[in-house]
Each structure stands twice: as structure tokens, then as C-alpha cells.
Amino acid sequence: MHCGKRLQGIGGRVTKHDRSKTAQPRPASIAAVAHRAGVSIATVSRVMNGIENKASSETASRVMAAVESLGYRPQSVGRALRQRESRIVGVLAANLGNPAMAAAAASIELALRDAGFVMALCDTHEDAGIQDEYLAEMEAQLARGIVLLVAVPSPKLDALRAAGRPLIFVNRRDPGAEDSTFVGIDDHAAGRAVAEHWLAKGETGPFGLLHASLAFSAGRHRAAGYLGRLAEAGIDEGSIAHATGPGRHHLEIGYIGMARLLEATPRPRRILCLSDLIAYGVYRCLVERGVSVPGEIELFGFDDNPLNAWIAPWLSAVRIPYEIFGTAVVASLAALIDEGRATTALLNHELVIRGGSPRGPARDVMSQASRIILETKSPGA
């Protein structure tokens, strides 16, 4: 359909090379260390955990020497069992194929590792069933916390929220509660800023909007900000063509939605796409029809994933600072675990404007005066 002709079907060849199955020698346990150091396992544990006043420095160094010589590393499962809490933090991403989410995941992973956690990353495909499966699994793993990189409503999610487990919602707010911990941008202000940008350039439209489901916070707020600002400028909401596509696949939503939008009269010339992937779908649709971008139709995306700068010089976008999401998530997690405080972190977005002439340099033009609204409490209300 949308993939090129292939030269041959899938398949392949598997060759097998035998290999002796050696019995696994057990790795050194805390008992082995204790024995070699001539102390009890309690002391080893205390030294390993840096507990003061429980071991003389002489004993401690003896223990450390034993640890060193045996290459001992505590098994996480033993500790997790005893403490009823592991160092795993589950990160449930809606779609790893989206470079923006991959960027967020990479950032979160880095920050978690710095903080001594271990990330377990999953792909929920934005499906409630799979999300529930993973939520249950994270519970079974005694995960310290769960990060939902775009959540959908699901029964298990409700259960965990009710049980007070540490949940962190990223990009899309908790679909089931107002005051859950959130890390993201001010979507309403960002949507506004795009409209503001076009208005400041003297554009009069026709404007368009392409989006996935508006049932969730991010999309709803972005759309509301965009449409609200246009309305303030006297542009009737009815005159703004908007479309979506079927399903959850943003690429196809953009492709199919754009095809519909092309039939609208008047045909929109400035279109906001609520994600980069939607804009990609739009791009393919327009390229196939010979419509020049941004010559005839100018696009604005959301996310500005790191690849845009390299291969999408035709796409301006609201840049979400995924590279700092990690530290924000970890900080929020700490507040939630240590103090039981749910926080809302609104990170600053930016507008990245690209000229996109196909033959000229991929120059990025600075937009004037796009206000970043920081004070929003309940965006999009």
C-alpha cells in the first residue's frame, strides 16, 4: 500500500551450531562474601549499604576486599523481595515507532539510571488491554513507579490510582483524574502560539486542523488554544476545516485526513497537525498529488522530533523539550514517592520555524513574539 514494491517475500534461513550446555556456576552470594571476610551476612549487607556505626573501618575494608575478589554484586530479586519494592520503573510508551516518544524514552532512561533506577520500557500501542497487561506486570515486578508516556483509560489504571501507586503521566494527562502527577507542556498555550504566529505574519487563512482523537487532554487543549486564538481574531470556527482519520496510527490519520481536507472549499492553506507523524502523513499525501509544501500549503507540527531538522525542512513545529523530560520525570517521581506530593511540571515549548524551500538551504526562520504562557492552571478549560 504505502510501502515500496519488494524484490522478494520475507523468509530466511536458520543455521544451527551446537554448543555444549555448561552448568551455570552460581554467582557469589552474600554468604560467600561473609564467609571470606569472616563476618556475618548482616555485616556484609550493612557495609554494602553504607550504614554508619555498624562496622569498624577495618571490618568494612575487609568486607570490601572480599566483595572485590569475588566480584560480588547483590542480586536485585533478593533485595526486592525483602523490601517489597524493586528498582524497576516501568515506562509504558504508546508507540515507540514515534521518534518523539523514543526521544522521551531515551531521556527518561538516562535520568532514571542516574537516580539508580532501572527502566523497563514497554509499548502499549495505545491499547487499553495491553496497557493493563503491562500495568499488572509492573505490579508483579514490584516496580517503584510507573511512567505513562501517553496513557489510555483502563480498569487497572483506575485500580492503581485508587491504590495510591506512584503514577506519572507524561504528555497526556491522567484520563481519570485531575490532580495526578503530570509532566508535559502547556498544550493550550502552544496551540495558541501557532495561531498567533500565523496571525502575526498577516495570514488570513484558510486555516485547517488535523488531529487524532480529541478525547484526551493534549489534543483537546492544543486544538482549543489554536481555535480560540483564531476566534479572537474574528475567524469563525466554522470556516476552519478540520479532519481526522480512522484508528490510532498518526501517519495514516494524516494521510487520509489530508485527502479529505483537499476536498474542502476553500482549500485550507495553513494546517496545524497535532503531531509530527500526522504531518508526515499529510506530506506524503501532498507529495503524491504534486502539491508543494510549504509553497502551496504550509504545515505546522507538534513535537519536533530530532529527525525533523535533518529530513523535514518543510515542517515547522512546536518543539517539546523531550531531552529534559527525564529529569522532570525523576524529580516528579521523587516528590511522589518521598513526600507523597503529586506535581505538575509544565516545561517550556518553543516554535521552530523552517523555511523549507526544497532547493535552498534548510534554514530555520525565527518567529517574532510568540508568547509562552506560564501561568495556566487548567489549560483548555
Buried b (16+ CB within 10 A) or exposed e, 184-221: bbbbbbbbbbbbbbbbeeeeebbbbbbbbebebbbbbb
CB of 162 to DNA, least distance (A): 19
> Interface mask (CB under 7 A) for DNA, residues 53-72, using x and -?
xxxx-xx------------x
Binding-site member from 40, 49, 76, 239 for its own copies (CB under 8 A): 76
- Residue 138 found at the interface with DNA (CB under 7 A): no
Whole-angstrom Cα Rg for the chain: 26
**Are the C-beta atoms of 343 and 166 separated by less than 8 Å?**
no
Buried b (16+ CB within 10 A) or exposed e, 68-100: eebebeeeeeeebeeeeebbbbbbbbbbeebbb
Contact window for its own copies (CB under 8 A) among 5-13, 206-214, 221-229, 236-244:
5-13
Does residue 293 come out as left (phi exceeding 0), alpha (psi in the -120 to 50 range) or beta? beta
| Residue 30 interacts with, from its own copies, DNA, none (CB under 5-8 Å by kind) | DNA
Cα angle for residues 299, 171, 127 (degrees, 5° grid): 95
| Residue 264 interacts with, from DNA, its own copies, none (CB under 5-8 Å by kind) | none
- Residue 161 found at the interface with DNA (CB under 7 A): no
What one-letter code names the amino acid at 312?
A
Instruction: Choose among 307, 304, 274, 315: nearest CA to 191.
Output: 274
| Residue 122 interacts with, from its own copies, DNA, none (CB under 5-8 Å by kind) | its own copies
**Are the C-beta atoms of 87 and 118 separated by less than 8 Å?**
yes
**Which helix or strand (DSSP H or E) is residue 303 part of?**
strand 298-303
Nearer to DNA, 24 or 265 (CB): 24
CB atoms within 10 A of CB 236: 8
Chain positions 15 to 34 lying near DNA, rule: CB under 7 A, are 26, 29-31
Chain positions 93 to 132 lying near its own copies, rule: CB under 8 A, are 96-97, 99, 102-103, 105-106, 109-110, 113, 118-123
Nearer to DNA, 43 or 98 (CB): 43
Spatial distance between the Cα atoms of 52 and 74, rounded to a whole number of angstroms: 19
CB of 254 to DNA, least distance (A): 45
Binding-site member from 28, 64, 128, 307 for its own copies (CB under 8 A): 307
**Are the C-beta atoms of 131 and 350 separated by less than 8 Å?**
no
Nearer to its own copies, 185 or 240 (CB): 185
Chain positions 239 to 278 lying near DNA, rule: CB under 7 A, are none
Placement of cell 495526578 in the chain? 180
Binding-site member from 6, 57, 263, 265 for its own copies (CB under 8 A): 6
- Residue 381 found at the interface with its own copies (CB under 8 A): no
Q: How many residues bind its own copies (CB under 8 A)?
A: 114
Give me the residues that bind DNA (CB under 7 A), please: 26, 29-31, 38-46, 48-49, 53-56, 58-59, 72, 74-75, 77-79, 81-84
